[in-house]
Amino acid sequence: MEHIRTPKVENVRFIDRISSRKAALGTLYLTATHVIFVENVSETRKETWILHSQISSIEKQATTATGCPLLIRCKNFQIIQLIIPQERDCHDVYISLIRLTRPVKYEELYCFSFNPKLDKEEREQGWKLVDLNEEYNRMGIPNNYWQISDVNREYGVCDSYPTEVYVPRSATAHIIVGSSKFRSRRRFPALSYYCKDNHASICRSSQPLSGFSARCLEDEQMLQAIRKANPGSDFIYVVDTRPKLNAMANRAAGKGYENEDNYSNIKFQFIGIENIHVMRNSLQKMLEVCELRSPSISDFLWGLENSGWLKHIKAIMDAGIFIAKAVAEEGVSVLVHCSDGWDRTAQVCSVASLLLDPYYRTLKGFMVLIEKDWVSFGHKFNHRYGNLDGDPKEISPVIDQFIECVWQLMEQFPCAFEFNERFLIHIQHHIYSCQFGNFLCNSQKERRELKIQERTYSLWAHLWKNRVDYMNPLYRADHGQTQGTLHPQTAPCNFLYKFWSGMYNRFEKGMHPRQSVIDYLMAVKEETQQLEEELEVLEERLSNLKKVQVNNNKVKNMQQDRNKALRLSASNNSIANTPQEYSNNLKSFPSRSPSQGDEEDSALILTQDNLKSSDPDLSATSDQESGVEDLNCRSPSGGCLPSEDSGKDPDSDEAVFLTA
Amino acid sequence: MEFSELIKTAKVENVLLSGPGVPAVKGTLCITSHHLLLSSQPGGDGEQGTVELWLLIRNVDAVEKRFASSSGTITLKCKDLRVLQLEIPGMEECLNIASSIEALSSVESVMMMYPFFYRPHSMKLEQGWHLYLPHHYYQQVVAETSAWRLSSVNRDFATCPTYPSAIIVPAVVDDEALRKIAHFRQGGRFPVLSYYHKKNQTVMLRSGQPLMGPNKKRCQEDELLLKAALCGRARGFVIDTRSAQAAKQARMTGGGSEPKAAYLGWKRLHRPLERGRPLQESFMKLVEACNDPSLGMDRWLSKLESSKWLSHVKAALSTACLAAQCMEREEACILVHGAEGTDTTLLVTALAQVILDPDCRTLVGFQHLLEREWIQAGHPFHLRCAHSAYSHARLKQEAPVFLLFLDCVGQLGRQFPFSLEFSERLLLALFENSYASAYGTFLCNSEKERSLCKVKETTHSLWSWLNQPNQQKEYLNPLYSYNALVIWPSVEPQSLQLWQGLFLQWIRSSQYLDEAWAEIQRLVEGSETPTRTNGAAHSQLLLPH
């Protein structure tokens, strides 16, 4: 609390997204964990809560007649503008936020104060939801070829690896330790995924310390052990996910890549995914495009191309596709690495696993996948997502890219995933929110030292509890798309990669489809299920009563009524809509300064986020708009709806046209 | 002319057919007057050959030949954007086949086209032609407001050759005045009612440009008509689909745009929309980019950008929304025109109606709209859809204005997935039929021409085919529920998408998307099955045995 210079500022104007022309007047509060804005409008007192950990940058803009603007960019891609009347207050808020959004100790993070009112037992249960031993058992391990090794207990060999590592049976402790000494940060080859059906596996490691000519017998034996663990194949692929040039440059520093001559029976392959710095800049460029106000199609497409973002996404996907193909079709094991083996390697291994195994496309399986390839293998969440104040050059959207790969696959295979887009968005949100302990720190070792499981709650349990919100209605366990390996179209396929506005323009509600198919279908699905159950009960009674005719009609009528009611509720909720700015001709349609805002455009666009604010943490941290109130006045019982909002805002467009 | 003169070789054996996404098949190729057929060779155990290809020759947009030593390959690029390859043994056969297809696909005479020969058993001629007469719509309007009247001034297409015989105009303007106004508007297209917005009694009119010329000629009757159209309202907007400068320049060639001083209460808004050759070139560039497998991720985006197609989609939607906004929110009347008033004008008026009027969003209402605002309103389909995106022929008057409209409607459907009663499949079928069809609906350039060619008497209507119950089901959107509200789309680049179902139809596999669609149908219909099966059981009981 000592960092808060001013806990409360009144008469602040607040704009919650780029496209909004409306500024709300209200009071700003700073707390130890959140920025809170409460609107003055007395009936609603709408609140917006923003977690400090979500804030990525704060920018003081030039003072205007209305006050001093602060631009806040969030890691979940929300952009907020605050206009504070007094320069002095603005400065205090700015200085306070600069400190608050850069915590220096883990204990300052929200998860240590967040209390969802669960008892100790529930918390422990929550942490047990995802169990990696169980997952390796599911893969069929340990077996004749693979075993669990305790070589890393107490993190004695590699401090960024988990204590329990799966390795080939023929790899002795001597070989593992020897190999680890020949690998960056001692990240020796370990099992990521094993395919029961053909014994092919995906292993991961860091780069070898080969320099220009160094060799390591144990490392060579390690790779041989991996090959022998797959009796069906006489070679393994070694996939270096870096561009060849980067890998060669590393040789000068005594690192590098495997020399095919020194390792028996390997096939070496570069894939060419760029490093974290390139990716950080690429995202930055893409977000600049997303921030443009009413860009032309050309501005947008040029900007998108120039950012290179989709090219990078495709590169990651291509690597995953290559590995999945090697494992599923050729039956060949693959060893994947990049430099340290915790960024690109994690991306590629998890994309490949997702393509190969339908289990990872279920809600539970996806949690397991992130736990396996990201959390347990020491992906540096703290550094990459800037949870604690640190080197800004370490920050990079590595897991964001993986999440986007999943979304791109969902677009191509709409029936293949048990979960929906909202699930991905909420996971992304919580990777940055630090509300749950799962993604704290840089390794398992650090998390254990901090006693995360005893002091914080697990996100997985929270998501699992609300799983109804995250279900994809088109998913059926017996559907063709849910079986076996996914084969994304490879060539030509550039046009299959699309900009994900649901993520990067998540808060620009007006851009998204105004009616949610997923929510409607989910409602239909639930309703159908209920009806079937009721029907069963009634049929049973019917046969008892033997009054077939009368009751049958009753059932039928009831079903009809229900169907009607269902459609009404599902459609009315999501229809409301309002015209937008349809002119790009600024001469005749002058853009107005935010302070003039009388445009009633925020309350009316009801999308899934409003309808589904059942996720309590999100409703606290994201903006709720006034969707709930609007829903009430839009109930079907209200009869035929008047045109969206004509009554509320008669003169906004008039003003626009008069100047035309 | 006899078709047989054009067919140099009617039949070739051992032709290998290949296309994207399907395994190659070998079979016998036959050319008939209107079709290209390929039937696969019967298997060894006496099984019948099956027909693998049944292609309307009119659908062929370009024929490309390539020769190897003793055989040749013909690439057929179709108007529906499909690309097929035929490997034909024998140089001469190959040349003959290619030139036959070229000749048959470019037959100029309308009366020689397939619809005049197509006689399916299940349908009766003249069936669908009376379903959607604009006349009916105009009568409804007249019944609601005394300010408008039906006029027969264009009986026999004497006043305006591109208007239908039934039109609706302000009641106070008599036929004599209309004839005068026709001389003052390009193509004789005097302002007529296009849409009546019941909710607030505003109207949308459309016309050709006023023929003011360099001397700023005026026409009193025209001014009176527009004054009457305001029905006492203070304001109206003329939405000119050209830039202010282009409209001004048009005066040099005899055209122009309504000056404020002469038309009290009317204000001009210029919203330039692309038309003609630039639009056709945009279409061709986009299709070329979609078909280029060598593009990397980056070059794909810049090709998509440089085609400008999505910019045209955005401009068309924005302008239609502006028109809709003027009516719905400003409660003002509007007049839409560009130059001829047969292309971008119709694009805007038709699109605005889909946005404003829930009746236009039903399967039947949409067909009504197409008949009234495109076909009868004189969009020159024959000229505009003579060639599609592949043709090497010198461009004449081709322009995919109607396709642009369908694309915009598709964008609306994506943003409001419950609000259109019809699905993307209808839009695809309309696209295909507008370029090559077995039905007469999109033939010719105007009602006058259709009447001269006796299209209604001697061809079948697309509508009667579409409205057969089994067909209809194909085109329905299972998620539809009536939405009385205006649907205001977002026109931000993030919200507008390339129409994959059309432009990538033959390039990417749609298997997984089709499965998703089937799953949606299953879910929604599953929830209705109990009542449906009951209904079926009841009707069975009623049948006499």
The CATH number that applies at residue A306 is 3.90.190.10
pLDDT of residue A593: 32
Q: Which fold has domain B3-107?
A: PH-domain like (2.30.29)
CB contact under 8 A, B292 and A492: yes
Q: Within a domain: residue A155?
A: yes
**A47/A169 same-domain check:** no
**A77/A125 same-domain check:** no
Distance from CA of A420 to the nearest CA of B (A): 14
A493 among known catalytic residues: no
Distance from CA of A294 to the nearest CA of B (A): 6
Residue A548 reports pLDDT greater than 70 = no
pLDDT of residue B453: 94
Instruction: Answer with the residue of higher pLDDT: A317 or A557.
Output: A317
- B50 neighbors B41 (Cβ within 8 angstroms): no
Find chain A residues with C-beta within 8 A of B404's C-beta.
none
Least confident window among A60-74, A481-495, B452-466: A481-495
pLDDT of residue A592: 30
CB contact under 8 A, B487 and A577: yes
Which residue, of A73, A102, A131, is where some domain finishes? A102
**A124/A25 same-domain check:** no
**A318/A384 same-domain check:** yes
Q: Within a domain: residue A265?
A: yes
Q: Exposed, middle or buried: residue B228 (CB in 10 Å: 0-12, 13-18, 19+)?
A: middle
pLDDT of residue A374: 97
Find chain B residues with C-beta within 8 A of A580's C-beta.
321, 488, 490-492
**A216/A339 same-domain check:** yes
Residue A564 reports pLDDT greater than 60 = no
Find chain A residues with C-beta within 8 A of B421's C-beta.
none
Distance from CA of B461 to the nearest CA of A (A): 34
**A187/A280 same-domain check:** yes
pLDDT of residue A655: 28
Give the length of chain B.
Answer: 545
Of A296, A416, A641, the CB nearest to B485: A641
Distance from CA of A461 to the nearest CA of B (A): 29
Residue A610 reports pLDDT greater than 60 = no
In a 3-state reduction of DSSP, which class is residue A153?
helix
B112-134: per-residue pLDDT in tens?
999 999 998 888 877 788 888 88
* Size of the A and B interface in Cβ pairs below 8 Å: 208
Find chain A residues with C-beta within 8 A of B530's C-beta.
531, 535, 555-556, 559
Q: What is the mean pLDDT of residues A427-452?
A: 95
CB contact under 8 A, B485 and A576: yes
CB contact under 8 A, A301 and B493: yes
**A284/A394 same-domain check:** yes
Residue A659 reports pLDDT greater than 80 = no
Find chain A residues with C-beta within 8 A of B497's C-beta.
498
Picking from B512, B517, B520, B534 by the largest number of A CB atoms within 10 A of its own CB, the best residue to mutate is: B512
Residue A15 reports pLDDT greater than 80 = yes
pLDDT class for A346, splitting at 50, 70, 90?
Answer: very high
CB contact under 8 A, A560 and B531: yes
Give the length of chain A.
Answer: 660
**A292/A439 same-domain check:** yes
pLDDT of residue A559: 54
CB contact under 8 A, A311 and B296: yes
Picking from A301, A500, A516 by the largest number of B CB atoms within 10 A of its own CB, the best residue to mutate is: A301
Q: Within a domain: residue A29?
A: yes
pLDDT of residue A555: 54
Partners of B202 in the β-ladder: B197
Find chain A residues with C-beta within 8 A of B305's C-beta.
297-298, 301-302, 305
pLDDT class for A482, splitting at 50, 70, 90?
Answer: confident
pLDDT class for A643, splitting at 50, 70, 90?
Answer: very low
Instruction: Characterise A484 by phi-psi region: left (phi > 0), alpha (psi -120 to 50), beta (else).
Output: left
pLDDT of residue B321: 96
Give CATH 2.30.29.30 domain extents, chain B: 3-107
Q: What are phi and psi of A337, to 5 degrees?
A: -150, 165
**A444/A328 same-domain check:** yes
CB contact under 8 A, B290 and A588: no
Of B415, B485, B531, the CB nearest to A644: B485
pLDDT of residue A569: 43
Over chain A, what is the mean pLDDT? 84
CB contact under 8 A, B329 and A646: yes
- Would you say the ipTM is above 0.90? yes
Known binding-site residues of A for substrate equal 275-276, 338-344
Please state the pTM of the whole predicted model: 0.89
Known binding-site residues of A equal 275-276, 338-344
CB contact under 8 A, B484 and A517: no
Find chain A residues with C-beta within 8 A of B526's C-beta.
528
Which two tokens mark B25? 């098949």
Tally of domains in chain A: 2
pLDDT of residue A561: 54
Residue A303 reports pLDDT greater than 50 = yes
CB contact under 8 A, B531 and A499: no
Of A474, A535, A583, the CB nearest to B520: A474
- A78 neighbors A16 (Cβ within 8 angstroms): yes
- A373 neighbors A359 (Cβ within 8 angstroms): no
Q: What is the mean pLDDT of residues A360-368?
A: 97
**A174/A225 same-domain check:** yes
In a 3-state reduction of DSSP, which class is residue A354?
helix
Cβ within 8 Å of residue A107, ≥6 positions away: none
Residue type, A208: P
pLDDT class for A1, splitting at 50, 70, 90?
Answer: low
CB-based contacts of A447-450 (< 8 A; 24+ apart in sequence) = A450/A106
CA distance B226 to B526: 53
**A238/A89 same-domain check:** no
Least confident window among A16-30, A222-236, B398-412, B529-543: B529-543
Distance from CA of B285 to the nearest CA of A (A): 15
pLDDT of residue B530: 44
Of A302, A556, A575, the CB nearest to B530: A556
Distance from CA of A486 to the nearest CA of B (A): 11
Give the closest residue to A360 by CA, choosing from A445, A485, A542. A485
pLDDT of residue A519: 87
Of B308, B417, B493, the CB nearest to A517: B417
pLDDT class for A556, splitting at 50, 70, 90?
Answer: low
Picking from A476, A489, A526, A577 by the largest number of B CB atoms within 10 A of its own CB, the best residue to mutate is: A577
pLDDT of residue A596: 32
Picking from B199, B290, B298, B307 by the largest number of A CB atoms within 10 A of its own CB, the best residue to mutate is: B298
b/e per residue A212-242 (b: at least 16 CB within 10 A): eebebebbbbbbbbbbbbbeebeebbbbbbb
Picking from B199, B267, B301, B304 by the largest number of A CB atoms within 10 A of its own CB, the best residue to mutate is: B301
Q: Within a domain: residue A557?
A: no
pLDDT of residue B127: 78
Q: In 10 A of CB A86, how many CB atoms?
A: 12
Q: In 10 A of CB A416, how many CB atoms?
A: 24
Which two tokens mark B36? 């290209």
Of B297, B479, B488, the CB nearest to A311: B297
Find chain B residues with C-beta within 8 A of A510's C-beta.
490, 492
Which residue, of A499, A524, A554, is where some domain finishes? A499
CA distance A561 to A564: 5
CB contact under 8 A, A653 and B515: no
Q: Nearest 5°: CA angle at B240, between B235 and B244?
A: 105
Q: Which residues of chain B have pLDDT under 50?
A: 529-545
Q: What is the CATH number of the domain that holds A36?
A: 2.30.29.30
Which two tokens mark A623? 């903006």
- A346 neighbors A379 (Cβ within 8 angstroms): yes
Q: Within a domain: residue A163?
A: yes
Residue A642 reports pLDDT greater than 50 = no
Find chain B residues with C-beta within 8 A of A299's C-beta.
493
pLDDT of residue A553: 59
CB contact under 8 A, B515 and A640: no
**A58/A140 same-domain check:** no
Least confident window among A179-193, A239-253, A490-504, B525-539: B525-539
CB contact under 8 A, A508 and B492: yes
Give the closest residue to A189 by CA, choosing from A216, A174, A170, A208. A208
Find chain A residues with C-beta within 8 A of B522's C-beta.
none
Which residue, of A499, A525, A556, is where some domain finishes? A499
Q: Could you tell me which chain A residue has the CA closest to the CA of B243?
A: A585
Residue A574 reports pLDDT greater than 80 = no
Give the closest residue to A484 by CA, choosing from A369, A361, A599. A361
pLDDT of residue A605: 30
CB contact under 8 A, B415 and A513: yes
- Domain coverage including residue A49: 8-102
Cβ within 8 Å of residue B126, ≥6 positions away: B456, B457
CA distance B278 to A340: 52
Of A494, A517, A521, the CB nearest to B297: A494
Q: Looking at A111, A158, A338, A441, which residue is catalytic?
A: A338
| Strand intervals (E) in A92-134 | none
Cβ within 8 Å of residue A244, ≥6 positions away: A270, A272
Q: Within a domain: residue A301?
A: yes
Of B290, B321, B513, the CB nearest to A414: B513
